[in-house]
Amino acid sequence: MVANPVHYHLGAFPPREFDWKQLIPLIGPANAGLARYDGLLSAIPNAQILLSPLTTQEAVLSSKIEGTNVTIGEVLEIEAGGESAEITQPKREDAEEVLNYRKALKACIAEMDHQRPFSQHLLRGAHALLMQGVRGRDKSPGRYRVEQNWIGPKRCTIDQASFVPIAPEHLQSGMDEWERYLGSTSEADTLVQLAILHI
């Protein structure tokens, strides 16, 4: 039996209240983990040595939501140019999407290194890079969608989806609200704020 899909909570972003009692035991260890990670990065002369495989892994995992089916090993093999006979054309195409994801991430980091704040403009630019030469390249890269989409098993209908995002007619105002929350300094914990922005 298929459960009803969860729909975007229109008008309820950002959340007005949090269950801090539930969050507080998680916030301390998460901040401690980030501090250890930051310390580790600052001790390495070239932090990219550690960050590069992590960003590739993140790109592989994040691309899976769009239906890619490629491993980090296959991406690295294709990138190095030493492809085995088992690497099919669909794998190459999936790897291109992952490599574009990494390129877009690096472009955002470079912009922010030049003191440009993360914004809708930067996000749309990253989307344009993400779509270069891959599936979906003809669907308005760098612009917000104009059709309803949903998340669920491959080829599922909207009624079978697990999540239905914000409707296109509310997308711009939703992103405006997202950007306001991004710039807000009133949230009690930055890590919780980042988690909410990510979701």
DSSP-H helix ranges across the chain: 20-43, 48-63, 72-80, 89-113, 120-130, 168-183, 190-198
Answering whether pTM is above 0.85, one says: no
Distance CA 142, CA 140 (A): 6
Residues of the chain with pLDDT under 50: 1
pLDDT at 33: 95
Residue pLDDT, tens place only, 108-126: 999 999 989 999 999 999 9
Structure tokens at 87: 């690497």
